[in-house]
Each structure stands twice: as structure tokens, then as C-alpha cells.
């Protein structure tokens, strides 16, 4: 993180988790504004949840449907990242993308550290109400455990 002549920290790299939701799109718009203002680069992240977390039971763990679901989720994640990257590039901002699998919040935190992100801009919500009940709020977990500042964007 660079420091301005007034002693205010500036952002050089902004990380934005994307899941295709309205909240994530609003977070991306906010991050583009910030990255433009501070001449920062951006890292767009999509985390594919472990398919075993979506479908449970011993008889399902090796089923071909699991592989098909995983492939569908990967494809969807790639499309979400491509669309986000095109929007960021159109604003003239350098961008990289990362597609990972596993726990959403833990991966966002780890990637932010590995990428030396100065700021995470995340949508307040992204999952449906039932999934949020069982998984907890990703934004809340990220803001509690990330080592860099986290901006939670509301609609």
C-alpha cells in the first residue's frame, strides 16, 4: 500500500470476489471507481464451492452427477470472471482473474494475502437466505479475518 503526501494510505491492488449476484456486480462497480481513482490494478476472484458441500451422502460422492456439477460450476465461474474482466479492462484497469475451489471465505482471504491485495471490495450478500443460514455470511467472515481493509458494498 502506498502512502499519499498527506499520510493517507492508497490502494495499489484491489481484490473483488465475484459470484454473478447483483451484490457482487455492485461491488465490482465500486471497485472500478476506486481502482480508477488510485491507479490500482484489480484481481477478480471466483470460488467454486466444493461439490461435496452441495450434495451429501456416501452414495453420491462418486456419482457421475458430481463431476457434471463440478464442470458446470467451473464453466459458470469462468464466464463470471471473463465478463468481470472485460468490464474492468474497458475502464483501462489492469486485471487478473483467479478461479479456485473450496471454502469461499477462506479462499478469498488466502488469495488476498497471496496477491498482496491492499483492499477487498465484496458484496454484502451473494447467496440465498437458506444457504447463508447454513454457511454464514462470507462478507462477515472475510471482514473479520482478512489482513487488509474490507469494503462491504450494499445495494
Between the CA of residue 28 and those of 62, 64, 128, what are the distances in Å?
A: 36, 35, 19
User: What confidence tens digit (pLDDT) does each residue in 110-132 have?
Assistant: 999 999 999 999 998 765 544 44
Tell me if 119 sits within 8 A of 14, measured CB to CB.
yes
User: What confidence tens digit (pLDDT) does each residue in 17-56 have?
Assistant: 999 999 999 999 999 999 999 999 999 999 998 765 555 5
Tell me if 19 sits within 8 A of 49, measured CB to CB.
no
Look up the pTM and report it. 0.84
pLDDT at 45: 98
pLDDT at 73: 86
All domains of the chain in start order, with CATH? 13-153 (3.40.50.620)
User: What confidence tens digit (pLDDT) does each residue in 137-150 have?
Assistant: 899 999 999 999 99
Amino acid at each position: 500500500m502506498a502512502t499519499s503526501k498527506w499520510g493517507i494510505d492508497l490502494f495499489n491492488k484491489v481484490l473483488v470476489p465475484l459470484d454473478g449476484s447483483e451484490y457482487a456486480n455492485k461491488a465490482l462497480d465500486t471497485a472500478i471507481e476506486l481502482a480508477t481513482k488510485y491507479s490500482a490494478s484489480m484481481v477478480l476472484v471466483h470460488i467454486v464451492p466444493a461439490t461435496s458441500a452441495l450434495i451429501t451422502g456416501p452414495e453420491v460422492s462418486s456419482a457421475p452427477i458430481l463431476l457434471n456439477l463440478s464442470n458446470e460450476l467451473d464453466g459458470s465461474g469462468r464466464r463470471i470472471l471473463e465478463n468481470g474482466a472485460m468490464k474492468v479492462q474497458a475502464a483501462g484497469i489492469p486485471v487478473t482473474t483467479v478461479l479456485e475451489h473450496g471454502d469461499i471465505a477462506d479462499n478469498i482471504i488466502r488469495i488476498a494475502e497471496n496477491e498482496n491485495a491492499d483492499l477487498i471490495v465484496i458484496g454484502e450478500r451473494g447467496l440465498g437466505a437458506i444457504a447463508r443460514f447454513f454457511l454464514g455470511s462470507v462478507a462477515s467472515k472475510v471482514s473479520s479475518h482478512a489482513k487488509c481493509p474490507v469494503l462491504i458494498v450494499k445495494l
